[in-house]
C-alpha cells in the first residue's frame, strides 16, 4: 500500500496545479499556417513513414514489450511484459496475446473488448470507454479496462501516422516547437468518433525529416493528466517506418516533460506488414 501511495504521488503531484494549454485553445497555440506548406508537410510525413506500403498492407504484426510503474499503480502488475500483437491497418481492430496466454481483443466497429483467459474464461466489455465514467487518475482498473487502454493505444502507436489519412480526421498546423536545439513542426489532429484515442485532439511533433518524435495528449480514461509521449527510436520494417521506442512522461504547464519518471514504456520488436 505504501508503494502505491508513492507511485500515486509521482503520477499526480506534479500535475495537481497544472493549467496546461488546451490543444485546441488560443490563437497563439493554434495558428493556421499556409495551406500549401501544411499540405507539403503532410505529404512528406506519409512519404517518410511509408504511406504507400501502409496502403497496401492489411495487417501489422509485432512483439511489443510494455514497462513502467503505471501498470502496477493501476492494479494490473502482470501487464508488464511482451505481447504478441496483430492489428488491422485499415480499421481499429487488434489482438494482443500476453505471456500468460491471456488474449485481449478490441474491435472498435463492434465497440467491444474481449478478454480470454488461458483456462478458457471469456469476459466481454461492451462500450468499454463508458466504463471509465467518473474515474480519476488514481482509480484502479479491471483487467478488461486495462486491456482496452492497451489495445486502442497500441493500435494507434503502430498505425500512426498513416491514421492521418483516415476519413473524418481533421488536421491543423500549430506553432513550431523548439526543443533540444531542434525546431519541430506541430500538427493538431482531431479524430472522429469512429476512432478511439486518448482524447479527441492530440498534438503531434515532427522533426526536420518529418519523423514523428513526440505526441501530447490527456488520456481521458486516466484522469486526463497532461502527457508528453516521446518516440526516440524508429526502424523500417517491410518498407514502413515504425517507432520502436516509446517513453511516456507527465507534461508540465509549459509543455516540457517531467523526465523524473517514465510512467509507461513500449519497445516494438520484429514488426512486419502483411
Q: By mean pLDDT, which of 5-19, 93-107, 228-242 is the weakest?
A: 5-19
**Residue range 210-219: average pLDDT?**
98
C-beta of residue 148 within 8 angstroms of C-beta of residue 113: yes
Dihedral of CA atoms 200, 260, 7, 70 in degrees, nearest 10, equals 40
Could you tell me the pLDDT band of residue 62, with boundaries at 50, 70 and 90? very high
Whole-model pTM?
0.89
Residue 15 lies in a domain: no
Q: Which residue segment(s) compose the domain that 133 sits in?
A: 20-273
Task: Tell me the CATH number at 267.
Answer: 2.50.20.10
Residue 10 lies in a domain: no
Give the total number of structural domains in the chain.
1
Residue 235 forms beta bridges with which residues? 242
Intra-chain end-to-end CA distance of the chain, in Å: 45
Residue 36 lies in a domain: yes
Residues 218 and 247: their CA atoms lie apart, in Å, by: 15
Residue 89 carries which DSSP code? S
Residue 189 lies in a domain: yes
Chain centroid, CA 71 distance in Å: 15
Task: Give 102-112 pLDDT, tens digit per residue.
Answer: 999 999 999 99
**Residue range 42-46: average pLDDT?**
96
Residue 14 lies in a domain: no
Residue 172 has pLDDT above 60, yes or no: yes
Residue 12 lies in a domain: no
Burial 155-192 (b: 16+ CB within 10 A, else e): bbbbbbbbbbeeeeeeebbbeebeeeeeebbbbbbbbe
Residue 8 lies in a domain: no
Residue 13 carries which DSSP code? G
**Residue range 61-86: average pLDDT?**
98
Residue 9 lies in a domain: no
Task: Give 144-162 pLDDT, tens digit per residue.
Answer: 999 999 999 999 999 999 9
Amino acid at each position: 500500500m505504501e508503494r502505491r501511495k508513492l507511485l500515486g504521488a509521482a503520477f499526480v503531484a506534479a500535475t495537481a496545479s497544472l493549467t496546461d494549454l488546451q490543444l485546441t485553445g488560443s490563437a497563439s497555440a493554434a495558428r493556421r499556417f499556409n495551406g500549401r506548406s501544411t499540405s507539403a508537410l503532410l505529404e512528406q510525413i506519409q512519404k517518410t513513414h511509408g504511406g504507400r506500403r501502409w496502403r497496401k498492407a492489411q495487417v501489422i504484426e509485432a512483439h511489443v514489450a510494455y514497462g513502467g510503474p503505471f501498470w502496477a499503480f493501476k492494479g494490473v502488475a502482470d501487464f508488464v511484459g511482451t505481447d504478441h500483437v496483430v492489428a488491422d491497418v485499415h480499421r481499429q481492430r487488434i489482438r494482443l496475446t500476453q505471456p500468460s496466454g491471456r488474449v485481449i481483443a478490441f474491435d472498435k466497429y463492434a465497440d467491444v473488448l474481449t478478454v480470454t483467459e488461458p483456462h478458457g474464461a471469456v469476459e466481454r466489455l461492451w462500450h468499454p470507454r463508458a466504463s471509465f465514467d467518473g474515474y480519476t487518475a488514481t482509480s484502479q482498473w479491471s483487467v478488461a479496462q486495462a486491456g482496452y487502454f492497451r489495445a486502442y493505444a497500441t493500435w494507434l502507436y503502430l498505425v500512426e501516422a498513416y491514421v492521418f489519412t483516415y476519413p473524418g480526421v481533421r488536421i491543423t498546423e500549430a506553432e513550431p516547437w523548439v526543443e533540444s536545439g531542434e525546431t519541430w513542426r506541430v500538427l493538431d489532429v482531431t479524430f472522429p468518433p469512429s476512432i478511439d484515442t486518448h482524447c479527441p485532439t492530440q498534438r503531434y511533433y515532427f522533426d526536420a525529416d518529418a519523423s514523428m518524435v513526440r505526441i501530447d495528449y490527456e488520456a481521458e480514461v486516466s484522469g486526463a493528466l497532461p502527457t508528453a509521449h516521446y518516440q526516440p527510436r524508429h526502424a523500417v520494417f517491410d518498407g514502413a517506418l515504425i517507432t520502436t521506442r516509446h517513453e511516456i512522461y507527465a507534461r508540465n504547464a509549459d509543455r516540457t516533460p517531467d523526465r523524473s519518471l517514465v510512467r509507461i514504456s513500449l519497445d516494438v520488436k520484429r514488426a512486419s506488414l502483411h
